[in-house]
Amino acid sequence: MMQFSRKLDIARGKIELSHGSGGRASAQLVNEIFYPAFANNLLSAGNDQAIFPSPAGRLAMSTDSFVVSPLFFPGGDIGALAVNGVINDLAMGGAQPLYLSASFIIEEGFSFAELRQIAENMGATARSAGVMIVTGDTKVVERGKADGVFITTAGVGVIQDGVNLSGDRARPGDSVILSGSLGDHGVAVMMARQNLGFDTHVESDCAALHELVAAMLATAGPSIRLMRDPTRGGLAATLNEIAQQSQVGFRLREADIPIKPDVTAVCELLGLDPLNVANEGKLIAIVDADVAPALLAQMRAHPLGRDAALIGTVVDDAHRFVEMETKFGGRRVVDWLSGEQLPRIC
């Protein structure tokens, strides 16, 4: 650990361009904010790269950038989102997440206090998920050339033999399982952003799903075709993507899709379709219909799968349509959005 003549004034200090210079100020920022928050020897070795043993098996690698606005919202913040987001992308491939990188693009004038809070949330989120943030970078851009802070995480995980999940494996007859209620994250961020002040309390579902995934794989491994987390674009975008990759269609039952009453109410007021709204702690699994009931029961026993539901079926469809039987007995196509309803939701 390096010594500096004066410690950073966390309570009142702000990011300056010099904190991105690669010089002494950069070193102090990393030493006094990131090393203590992320707390592991691979990172604090202070090399340009982290080095660790190569695990046996196949590796998964993923990355995501986070530009959410506002940075803090009920149920989470950009830091927790950045850690859980990349963990979930790895978990959806059936991987056990192991090592993360974190890179920060910070606007000049951003407060040390908020940066430290974000870093501490990242460290805590990583520790509770059993992963390490082992390497990183910090860049600073002039005032007005970014918006507070943007964070990009990347992650590496290991996949056990026999686990083969991929977006092209859905087959007609398969069941579609959703791990819980839709729209919580998007609605929580939207309400925080617009300061709507409705008399409702919706929290982001921001959570790391890898332990739920590990439990599901242990029970139903080879019968799970694929998993995916319906983030930006929501369930609608995710299922349309899979329909293209697997060359199939979907039939959903609206009555079976869990959505909290408060989320439904806010979506109605704002003119949003909850099927397009982002989630940050939910997954969909496409599974062999034979294992669906047992898998569902097991998921409901896990805190992150308590509201899991069987919401539909994979069908043969030359048009690759996602269709839904509505609560009123009709049927509608669930298309993905072509415009942007909720910019900067993650």
Q: In this complex, which beta carbon is closest to a copy of itself, that of residue 2 or of residue 218?
A: 2
* Unique residue bearing structure tokens 């029961």: 297
Q: In this complex, which beta carbon is closest to a copy of itself, that of residue 142 or of residue 290?
A: 142
Cβ contact 77:117 at 8 Å: yes
CB of 94 to a copy of itself, least distance (A): 9
Q: Which helix (H) or strand (E) holds 297?
A: helix 292-300
Go through 52-66 and write b for each residue having 16 or more CB atoms within 10 A of its CB, e for each that does not.
eeeeeeeebebebeb
According to DSSP, the β-strands at 322-325 and 249-253 are parallel
- Residue 329 Rama label (left phi>0; alpha psi -120 to 50; beta): left
Q: In this complex, which beta carbon is closest to a copy of itself, that of residue 202 or of residue 236?
A: 236
* Unique residue bearing structure tokens 């409901």: 300
CB of 332 to a copy of itself, least distance (A): 17
Q: In this complex, which beta carbon is closest to a copy of itself, that of residue 46 or of residue 293?
A: 46
Cβ contact 298:224 at 8 Å: no
CB of 201 to a copy of itself, least distance (A): 26
Please state the φ and ψ torsions of residue 250, each to the nearest 5 degrees.
Answer: -130, 145
Cβ contact 225:169 at 8 Å: yes
CB of 305 to a copy of itself, least distance (A): 19
Task: Provide the β-strand partners of residue 251.
Answer: 313, 323
CB of 346 to a copy of itself, least distance (A): 8
CB of 114 to a copy of itself, least distance (A): 17
- Residues 49 and 144: their CA atoms lie apart, in Å, by 31
Q: In this complex, which beta carbon is closest to a copy of itself, that of residue 144 or of residue 329?
A: 144
CB of 144 to a copy of itself, least distance (A): 7
- Residues 63 and 149: their CA atoms lie apart, in Å, by 17
Q: In this complex, which beta carbon is closest to a copy of itself, that of residue 58 or of residue 302?
A: 58
Q: In this complex, which beta carbon is closest to a copy of itself, that of residue 161 or of residue 199?
A: 161
